[in-house]
């Protein structure tokens, strides 16, 4: 990636973060609490649907990255706040982080925000109907919100993040450059962004072939989306798993 492309990535990242801060839950404590509940449900649902994949030793770090790093939360909000401060001065830091890593990190942040936006739709519907987060209510929310196309696009975007990261970590030169940039990035306020990118690299390394993780994951998620929005839905979110109790109290 040349310098102009790198700045385009930075501009894209700044735009993505502006969109993130415009989401209404930042100014609505009740909606934020509902979104947090939805996200907690989603983490449980994703793990329940993919536990056979996630529990393989080589996949455990990637599973943790998917469930925790790509689902927002306080750590993501902290990173977003710090990036808001850094990005307006981005030209000063053009050589801190290799451009390939910058592009990869931008894609991952976009994927994380996309997940938040889609779950926010569910949280808003539940709030408008004064409903708690339960298995049946979540299934109803999925169907009433009707974001099938966006959910399928989300799966595609998550695959892109995985394959882009895999391409990067297979380059020794780029990995070395990224490692060397750590001290300078930390010293100049880029630690949250650097750590977010690094978490993806660390999670990916044990996989062997990334396709062995992401392809079955994506295919199962696609089946779940189709099942949820299908005309013959049987009261389950995942056609391969029984409904589970949420919350656990």
pLDDT along the chain (249 residues), means of 10: 50 88 96 94 93 95 86 75 74 64 83 94 98 97 96 94 83 79 80 84 89 96 96 92 77
Return phi, psi of residue 22, to 5°: -85, -10
Its pTM stands at 0.88
In the block, tokens 């770090």 appear at 61
pLDDT value at position 72? 64
- Output 178-186 pairs: Cβ under 8 A, ≥24 positions apart: 178/97, 178/98, 178/101, 181/96, 181/97, 181/98, 181/101, 184/96, 185/93, 185/96, 185/97
pLDDT value at position 6? 44
Q: How far apart are CA 213 and CA 64, in angstroms?
A: 13
With contact defined as beta carbons under 8 Å apart, do 43 and 67 qualify? yes
Structure confidence by residue, pLDDT tens digits, 166-194:
887 777 777 788 888 888 778 877 788 78
pLDDT value at position 8? 64
Q: How far apart are CA 240 and CA 50, in angstroms?
A: 10
pLDDT value at position 83? 81
């Amino acid at each position: 990636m040349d310098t102009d492309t790198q700045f385009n990535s930075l501009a894209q990242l700044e735009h993505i973060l502006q969109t993130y801060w415009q989401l209404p839950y930042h100014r609505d404590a009740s909606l934020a609490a509902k979104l947090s509940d939805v996200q907690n449900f989603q983490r449980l649902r994703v793990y329940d649907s993919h536990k056979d994949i996630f529990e393989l030793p080589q996949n455990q770090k990637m599973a943790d990255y998917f469930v925790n790093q790509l689902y927002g939360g306080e750590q993501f909000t902290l990173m977003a706040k710090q990036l808001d401060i850094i990005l307006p001065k981005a030209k000063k830091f053009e050589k801190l982080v290799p451009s390939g890593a910058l592009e990869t990190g931008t894609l991952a942040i976009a994927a994380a925000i996309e997940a938040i936006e889609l779950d926010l739709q569910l949280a808003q519907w539940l709030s408008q109907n004064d409903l708690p987060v339960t298995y049946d209510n979540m299934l109803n929310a999925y169907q009433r919100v009707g974001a099938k196309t966006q959910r399928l696009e989300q799966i595609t975007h998550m695959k892109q993040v995985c394959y882009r990261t895999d391409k990067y970590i297979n380059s020794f030169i780029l990995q070395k450059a990224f490692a060397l940039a750590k001290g300078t990035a930390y010293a100049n306020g880029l630690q949250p962004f650097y750590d977010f990118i690094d978490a993806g690299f660390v999670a990916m390394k044990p996989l062997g072939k990334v396709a062995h993780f992401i392809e079955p994951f994506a295919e199962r998620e696609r089946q779940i989306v189709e099942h949820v929005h299908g005309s013959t839905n049987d009261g389950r979110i995942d056609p391969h798993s029984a409904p589970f109790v949420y919350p656990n109290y």
